[in-house]
């Protein structure tokens, strides 16, 4: 007998939400993932051949949805310091500022002092 989506929801929604929240700390995103998981369960529940493997099947769908989430929400790579500063106007900063503005044609070697403190 194929389980219904309603029965699966009642039995697994709380545990599955906690499972997703452990891996995705953002609650709205976790709820979106949970909804995607249950949409996939609803559309593919008839393909489940062995009902005794229902829980493993559901959690595998959740793991795949979490992987898809991180695949589409990759952090933006940092721009190298010299490229980040090109085109910005020069500003007068306090002498003890930790910021170091370089000339656009000059690369940062890492040896320049970043503050007034000297050894």
Which tens digits make up the pLDDT trace of 19-37?
Answer: 999 999 899 999 999 999 9
How many residues are listed for the chain in this entry? 119
With 80 as the cut, is the pLDDT of residue 110 above it? Answer: no
Name residues whose C-beta falls within 8 Å of residue 108's C-beta, 6 or more positions apart in sequence: 81, 82, 100, 102
Higher pLDDT: 63 or 2? It is 63
pLDDT of residue 119: 47
With 50 as the cut, is the pLDDT of residue 79 above it? Answer: yes
Helix ranges restricted to H, 24-106: 27-44, 54-72, 81-85
* pLDDT tens digits for range 59-77: 999 999 999 999 998 777 7
Distance, in Å, from the CA atom of 67 to the CA atom of 70, rounded to the nearest integer, reads 5
pTM: 0.62
What domains sit in the chain, N to C, each tagged with a CATH number? 5-72 (1.10.1740.10)
């Amino acid at each position: 007998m194929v389980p219904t989506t309603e029965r699966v929801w009642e039995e697994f929604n709380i545990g599955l939400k906690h499972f997703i929240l452990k891996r995705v700390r953002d609650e709205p995103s976790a709820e979106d993932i949970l909804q995607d998981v249950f949409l996939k369960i609803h559309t593919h529940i008839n393909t489940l051949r062995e009902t005794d493997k229902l829980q493993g099947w559901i959690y595998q769908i959740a793991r795949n949805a979490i992987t898809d989430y991180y695949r589409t929400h990759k952090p933006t790579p940092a721009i190298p310091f010299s490229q980040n500063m090109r085109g910005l106007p020069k500003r007068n900063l306090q002498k003890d500022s930790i910021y170091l503005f370089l000339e656009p044609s000059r690369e940062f070697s890492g040896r320049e002092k970043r503050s007034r403190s000297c050894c």
